Amino acid sequence: MWTLALLWYHVYVIITENIKNKLEEREIACLSEFATKSRFTRGRKRIEDECSLRTNFQRDRDRILHSKAFRRLKHKTQVFLSPFDDHFRTRLTHTLEVSQIARTIARALDLNEDLTEAIALGHDLGHTPFGHCGEGVLDELVHGGFNHNVQSVRVVEVLEDLNLCHETVDGILTHSWGYKPNTPEAQVVQLADKIAYINHDIEDSVRAGVIAESDLPRDCIDYFSPNQRQRLNKMIIEIVGNSLGKPVVAMSDEAWHYTTKLREWMFANVYVDSPAKLEEDKARYVIKELFHYYCDMLKPACAPEKIERIVTDYISGMTDRYAVERFKENFIPTGLRSCKKDEYLFKLAKVIS
């Protein structure tokens, strides 16, 4: 009986190892010469046993998808705080749209779709509650500033310790503009992030009545299209057509000119000063007060040099509604309560200390 079971186990190991090897061989044979092959990854910080069914980048994708930080994205703001209906984007739906766009581009260019998807799904894990408003507040409060891409790396390397491959972590870090990605897959995500939020933020802003499609710059509309689907499709086609057979993924200069102009118009008319931002002063106040409150709370329990780091990790990980609930609990008078709900703050203190 035991001999038969052992025999079947060895057969299972041989079969499953062949699956992983087959996937790696397929990448080497079929992907572009510029694509990042999973067999030749620069590896993880900690060596671990290989999976017999999945490549290294598939494992990264799965770890991000199953992380707690990923699940919290569904209740984090994209542009509109506490939207009044269910059709506005959240940080999670933004992430999924970035992933879809990035995979389309990567597949068309014969790049590594698994690595591309892993980077796309993980790129905003460190984003704050209340969108870029929350990020701006923490940037003002934290010594050395705060950037959500850097915090996303901290999430996967420290707070959830996913032990991802070097290439995945690099792509998460460099998805923000101003950083230089080291793989073509990361270049794809950097572009996909921009064209995703430009297009879906236009749609959400029109839905909210903040702008009308007729308000958009005429030359941008003439170049791309007044129709969102056609506009997004043309942006993707411009990237693919300009990047085929090349080591660098980029739009044509003309397409990038109009994309940048559209992005700048959105900053001037939606992102910075518009009815979409009316609640931001309240959101800023919530985060600022929580930050100071938690710093004071930790003073008796932690080394002073660690307090700011702990509080930053705690607040940046909050969803919008969790931040509001913590504010209510700590600053709005209520009836007698038996306990507080900030236990995770002290768990972080233990981990980081």
List, for residues 28-40, the tens digit of each pLDDT value.
999 999 999 999 9
pLDDT at position 57 is 98
Q: Domain range for residue 102?
A: 56-277
Residue 78: CATH number of its domain: 1.10.3210.10
pLDDT the model gives residue 351: 72
Query: Cα(56)–Cα(25) distance, rounded to whole angstroms?
Result: 13
User: Do 220 and 268 sit in the same domain of this protein?
Assistant: yes
User: pLDDT: is 278 or 308 the higher one?
Assistant: 308
Cα–Cα distances in angstroms (integers) from residue 325 to residues 138, 277, 330, 338, in the given order: 19, 21, 9, 16
* pLDDT band at residue 338 under the 50/70/90 scheme: low
CA distance 114 to 63: 12
**181 within 8 A of 250, measured Cβ to Cβ:** no
Same domain, 67 and 158: yes
Confidence of residue 339 (pLDDT cuts 50, 70, 90): low
**Least confident residue range of 48-52, 57-61, 123-127:** 48-52
The DSSP secondary structure of 231-247, one letter per residue, reads HHHHHHHHHHHHHTT-S
114 inside domain: yes
Please check whether residues 272 and 287 belong to one and the same domain.
no
Average model confidence (pLDDT) across the chain: 92
Residue 207 forms part of a structural domain = yes
If you search the block for the tokens 């569904």, which residue do you land on? 74
Instruction: Assess whether 115 and 247 both reside in one domain.
Output: yes
Four-point Cα dihedral 255, 259, 260, 263, nearest 10: 180
Q: Are residues 109 and 134 in the same domain?
A: yes
Q: Among the residues of 147-247, which ranges form H helices? A: 148-154, 166-173, 184-207, 218-223, 228-243
DSSP 245-311: T-SS----HHHHHHHHHHHHHHIIIIISSSGGGTTHHHHHHHHHHHHHHHHHHHTTTS-HHHHHHHH
Higher-confidence position of 19 and 348:
19
Indicate whether 229 belongs to any domain: yes
Q: What pLDDT was estimated at residue 149?
A: 98
Over residues 175-193, mean pLDDT: 97
Q: Examine the domain organization and report whether 73 and 172 are in the same domain.
A: yes
End position of a domain, from candidates 251, 277, 303? 277
- pLDDT tens for 280-328 read 889 999 999 999 999 999 998 899 999 999 999 999 999 999 999 999 9
- Provide Rg for the chain, Cα atoms: 23
* Residues 116, 250 within the same domain: yes
* Residues 182 and 317 occupy one common structural domain: no
Position 348: which residue type? L
Handedness of CA 113, 119, 120, 121 (dihedral sign): positive
Looking at the structure, tell me whether residues 295 and 251 fall in a common domain.
no
Residue 347, Cβ neighbours under 10 Å: how many?
Answer: 12
Domain assignment of residue 22, yes or no:
no
Q: Total structural domains in the chain?
A: 2
Cα–Cα distances (Å) from 252 to 20, 180, 196, 235, 256, in that order, read: 37, 18, 18, 10, 6
DSSP string, 314-337: HHHT--HHHHHHHHHHHHS--S--
Domain boundary among 244, 277, 310: 277
Q: Which residues contact 50 (CB under 8 A, 6 or more apart)?
A: 20, 56
Q: Are residues 184 and 82 in the same domain?
A: yes
- In the numeric block, which tokens belong to residue 324? 């509001």
User: Do 76 and 166 fall into the same domain?
Assistant: yes
* Domain assignment of residue 2, yes or no: no
pLDDT in tens, 74-95: 999 998 876 567 889 999 999 9
Q: Distance from first CA to last CA of the chain, Å, rounded?
A: 51
Helices and strands (H, E) in the chain, number of each type: 16, 0
pLDDT at 340: 64
CA 286 to chain CA mean position, Å:
23
| 167 occurs within a structural domain | yes
The verdict on residue 149 lying in a domain is yes
Answer whether residue 1 is part of any domain: no
Last residue in a domain, options 254, 277, 300: 277
Provide the residue type at 280 as one letter. Answer: E
Verify that 145 and 86 share a domain, yes or no: yes
